Amino acid sequence: MTEASRSPEEEAARLQGLLDNGLISQDEYDTLMISKGLVASTAQNTSSGTIAQDGSVAAGEKGFAAGSISPKAEQNIISGNNNLVANFIDLHWPKNEEERRKEEDEERHEQEKKNLRRQLASYLKWMLAEHGTIELRGIKRDGQQVVSLDLETVYVPLAAVHGVNQHEHFELDRVLQQGQHLVITGGPGCGKTTVLQHIAYTLCLAIINNVPILAKNKLGLNLYRPIDEQQFVYDEKISIDDKLGQHKEKITLPLPIYVPLSLYNRYYKELPAGAHAKQKNLASFINNYLIERQASFNLPESFFQSLLQHDHAVILLLDGLDEVPGEKERSRVRAAIEDLVKAREKIRVVVTCRSAAYKERTAIGRGFSQIQVLPLGQSHLNDMVRHGYSAIHIDNIQKAKNDAENLLRSIDKLEEQRRHRSGDEFKTLVDSPLMVRLLLVVHYSERCLPEQRAELYEVAVMNMLYPDYGMDNEVLEHIGRLIGGSEKKHRDLSQYIAFQMHIKGDKQGREISEDGLREILSKNTDYAELCEDFIQLTRLRGTLMEERFGIYRFIHLAFQEFLVARYLSEVLRTEEKIAVFFQDERIADSWWREVVLLTIGYLSIDSSSAASILIQQLAGIGEESAEKMNKLAPAIQVASAGLAWSALSDWPEAPTKLKEVIPKRFLEIFHNDTLFPNYTNRIVAGNLLGKLGDPRFHPDFWHLPDEELFGFIEISEGKFVFGGDKNENTLLRQDIWLDTFYINRYPVTVAQFRAFINDSKHLPSSAINLNSIANHPVNLTNWYDVIAYIDWINQKIENSDALPNNIKSLLIDHGYKFFLPSEAEWEKAARGRDGRLYPWGYEQPETAYANFYETKLGTTSPVGCFPDGESPYGLLDCAGNVWEWTRNLADETDILHPDSFSISNKMKNGASGFHVLRGGSFKDSSLYLACTCRGRSFPDYQFENRGFRLALIKQELL
């Protein structure tokens, strides 16, 4: 039974079944009941339940009740006869204009308002239809190859973090609480556009049905009921007292306006050379886009322009900043967004952009907050699969439950097998909504799942290319069942188009005009005669491509990338040719990253040998490959070897030897000084090391350095020059004797601290410690985090039966313990015995020596990226990166014997006062890099540039 053939009572019963079986939530049930007209449109849900009007059925506290919508309520929807719609009409005509029109002809003016309400209602209904469904291709149901799923049935609000305060997680159903100006970023297929769909759909549904509570429940918009008013008022960041002072009487939800930014970019480029500046701005395009090109509802040409003059009247949903080709054009579009909000500071704007593209000139200023969508968590994955199958098996709730649980078990098994093979290098395969949709298509059709991405795309593509039996008969008669008579021909044609588009680069490769498509296909004799059939089919129901306003693009960039990978594998054929193709500068371009990984993955489906050879070619393993590699630019070498390593994590059956050789090869590149005349490429390489599993650190020993004594360096007893010319940041120069101690080559890393948090369940002062790249120094630590870590690592060491003999001897036979260095110990390790000012000598700091303010990174860097800044004893990152805690108080007179600093005293008694930090950080000027410079902080303070380094100190000295 199709949805259209069900009676209202049957549809209400179906939705109740989904709710009772846990396949949708109460909020989703409420929204679906409203959207399908099964409750009164004029109901306003408050905390005490639904208020029934116009003869509809009321519900209790749980939500909305099923019932027949009254004729009057239905007419109100069609006519736009409600307070929320009327509010936009009032904004369109200022008060003086309203009065003038009434005086001239009140009856005509009322008719104009009535017409405008109808036209706006048509816009709202069009928006509901446009954004209320998600297409799932490749599942044959009711004779249709493309299944439209209710957005509210399948939508799952994912978790996200702020770009700055990454420790603050929140669900995206509260996204509009995060600020007026937002940029939602994330990886490919993470659901950025779907978030905008959800915002648009929910607001339109709330406005047209006069149910503002939906905006609060589904989007996080705060609604207040002032003491002297019965109606809700949209939260405008104004206090309740101020609201009462304004005597607001009307509900004012913002009207959603959805705009693809790639269309604005094309509009801008097509303007004549002498176009007026006003024509070029984003506001003019929005009006043009809605009135002339899309929403033809006879609304006045000035309607949207007038609403844009009222900050709270609209919310702009600007999709796909990353889909604007090329950094120069993205920068121009970014500037247009900034100009728009410059004149309208309180207008709500939500922009989406791929994380990889949101940097440098693309990043938006003007107070925009970045919201990063997180990878799928288990609960989100479960909900997404269950919601998906409940929408696929729309009339069979039990089958929906059974298939969903079967798929979830298959995913668990798949991920566990991959985790077992990959160990610490494990990367979740199913980490985005796009992957879930692919899994639904493949599982529904194949009843089992492949084990890697490329194979998953391969099966999904073939399923999506099956014929649509519901197509127009005349078209079926003309083009036959499939393009070229087979799915394979259709697939090969699609991959040829994908390659010809992708080769044009990020700036021009995302979309193609119809003339451009014809030109590409006409040049290939195998596909020239299929051109018109392909275009006609794509226009009619979509293929792997979609058509809009004469412009063609793949339904998701991920499909284009996979098809390019398949084309290269099938056409270039030899691994050497593929490697040469990629290493001709493309491999360092993020535009080609996914293609490289998917090419290796695709080759591995049928030939482990072919995939292995390509990986070795890209990594420069083997004499001939290494010779070719050495001739490439440093950035190409880093990117090539890094992608070779990345590909292993998505290849479950990769040879063990390859998994051992590739990380070592990459580490050779990282330590090759001739490749890195400056720090930039080494930091890129270091970040890749951190993301892929830095072999400098030992995962079986709490990620301590994988070298003798866990990276602790002996600082032998003797005198050294301490201090300098006394000032507020430096103690007086003197010769000091220190007993032998040991100190680590690197600051404590994120991976080391994460191991502590995961094992001890300690609640850190900031969870950002856990979100950074694994081999960066941990930061945002306060004194108590540091002491807790030290207490934990000492316990781990004492209880371990697997310690190397040399470290065991130091700890057990000689009585050393893990702790912080004193500031004197830290200074000796950093500057040596000779009194030099900096770890590297007396030369003034340069960007080759350290990560400090002038380096312009603005954040931490992987440990060990500045070998030129090494101390005489071999310590790295003593200058810059992060300040390092010591065990001294700032006002202690005896710097050699700081008292009351035992672990037990610090934790139990909590000595107060400033603590000394050393070394400077990425935020500080060169002044603070001197080995003599003392920083200071209260023990409970946390800043984004505070870390620490471990020392081994004889217990009697603590």
Asked, for residue 123, whether it belongs to a domain, the answer is no
Those residues whose C-beta lies under 8 Å from the C-beta of residue 883, and which sit 6 or more positions away, are 917, 918, 919, 920, 921, 935, 937, 943, 945, 946, 947
CB 415 within 8 A of CB 430: yes
Same domain, 580 and 448: no
Sign of CA dihedral 320, 323, 328, 333: negative
Sign of CA dihedral 565, 571, 573, 576: negative
Instruction: Quote the CA–CA distance of 34 and 27 in Å, as a whole number.
Output: 11
Those residues whose C-beta lies under 8 Å from the C-beta of residue 166, and which sit 6 or more positions away, are 372, 767, 768, 771
Same domain, 216 and 340: yes
**What are the φ and ψ backbone dihedral angles of 708, each rounded to 5 degrees?**
-55, 135
Same domain, 796 and 941: yes
- The confidence band for 152, taking pLDDT boundaries of 50, 70 and 90, is confident
> Which of 457, 452, 414 is closest to 434 using CA atoms?
457
Of the three residues 74, 89, 110, the one that is the final residue of a domain is 74
CB 330 within 8 A of CB 357: yes
Provide the number of structural domains found in the chain. 6
Q: Tokens standing for 773? A: 């790249």
pLDDT tens across 756-802, in order? 998 998 888 776 667 788 999 998 888 889 999 999 999 999 888 88
**What are the φ and ψ backbone dihedral angles of 843, each rounded to 5 degrees?**
-65, 145
Same domain, 744 and 870: yes
Same domain, 810 and 842: yes
Of the three residues 373, 398, 415, the one that is the final residue of a domain is 373
Same domain, 889 and 946: yes
> Which of 111, 433, 90, 87 is closest to 250 using CA atoms?
87
Q: Tokens standing for 13? A: 């019963």
Asked, for residue 134, whether it belongs to a domain, the answer is no
Residue 95 has pLDDT above 60, yes or no: no
Same domain, 57 and 172: no
170 forms beta bridges with: 160
Name residue 615's amino acid: I
Same domain, 524 and 396: no
Q: Helix, strand or coil for residue 368?
A: coil
Crossing angle (nearest 10°) for helices 26-35 and 8-20: 170
Most confident of 88-92, 177-181, 433-437, 713-717: 713-717
Name residue 520's amino acid: I
| Per-residue confidence (pLDDT) for residue 389, from 0 to 100 | 87
Cα end-to-end span (Å), the chain: 77
Q: Tokens standing for 288? A: 């043009």
Asked, for residue 895, whether it belongs to a domain, the answer is yes
Q: Can you list the alpha helix ranges (DSSP code H) found in 250-377?
A: 261-270, 277-280, 282-288, 303-308, 327-342
- Give the residue with greater pLDDT, 287 vs 853: 853
Asked, for residue 900, whether it belongs to a domain, the answer is yes
- The confidence band for 596, taking pLDDT boundaries of 50, 70 and 90, is very high
pLDDT tens across 251-309, in order? 578 889 898 888 888 888 888 888 887 788 888 888 777 766 545 566 776 777 777 77
What is the gyration radius of the CA atoms in the chain, in angstroms? 32
Same domain, 340 and 409: no
Asked, for residue 786, whether it belongs to a domain, the answer is yes
Burial of 215 (0-12, 13-18, 19+ CB in 10 A): buried
Same domain, 583 and 650: yes
Which domain covers residue 56, as residue numbers?
3-74
Same domain, 195 and 331: yes
Instruction: Quote the CA–CA distance of 1 and 326 in Å, as a whole number.
Output: 48
| DSSP-assigned letter for residue 925 | -
Tell me which residue has tokens 């090329």: 326
Those residues whose C-beta lies under 8 Å from the C-beta of residue 134, and which sit 6 or more positions away, are 148, 149, 151, 154, 155, 194, 197
- Averaged pLDDT for residues 815-830: 94
Burial 128-149 (b: 16+ CB within 10 A, else e): beebbbbebbbbbbeeebbbeb
350 forms beta bridges with: 182, 317
Q: Tokens standing for 642? A: 């890094």
**What are the φ and ψ backbone dihedral angles of 146, each rounded to 5 degrees?**
-105, 115
- Give the residue with greater pLDDT, 937 vs 311: 937
Q: Tokens standing for 265? A: 């970019």
pLDDT tens across 918-942, in order? 999 999 999 999 999 999 888 877 7
Of the three residues 553, 569, 585, the one that is the final residue of a domain is 569
Asked, for residue 107, whether it belongs to a domain, the answer is no
| Per-residue confidence (pLDDT) for residue 822, from 0 to 100 | 92
| Per-residue confidence (pLDDT) for residue 230, from 0 to 100 | 39
CB 79 within 8 A of CB 121: yes
Residue 632 has pLDDT above 50, yes or no: yes
CB 262 within 8 A of CB 243: no
Asked, for residue 226, whether it belongs to a domain, the answer is no
Instruction: Quote the CA–CA distance of 260 and 285 in Å, as a whole number.
Output: 11
- Mean pLDDT, the chain, integer: 79
CB 803 within 8 A of CB 812: no
Sign of CA dihedral 116, 118, 123, 124: positive
| Per-residue confidence (pLDDT) for residue 495, from 0 to 100 | 95
Instruction: Quote the CA–CA distance of 702 and 756 in Å, as a whole number.
Output: 8
CB 129 within 8 A of CB 148: no
Same domain, 515 and 589: no
136 forms beta bridges with: 147
Asked, for residue 905, whether it belongs to a domain, the answer is yes
Name residue 145's amino acid: Q
Which pairs count as long-range contacts for 713-719, CB under 8 Å and 24+ apart, including other chains? 713/742, 713/743, 713/744, 713/745, 713/829, 713/873, 713/874, 713/875, 714/740, 714/742, 715/740, 715/741, 715/742, 715/743, 715/825, 715/828, 715/829, 715/873, 716/740, 718/833, 719/833
Give the CA angle between residues 195, 539, 457 to the nearest 5°: 55
Reading phi first (left if > 0) and then psi (alpha if -120 to 50, else beta), residue 860 is in beta
Instruction: Quote the CA–CA distance of 663 and 323 in Å, as a whole number.
Output: 34
**What are the φ and ψ backbone dihedral angles of 944, each rounded to 5 degrees?**
-75, 5
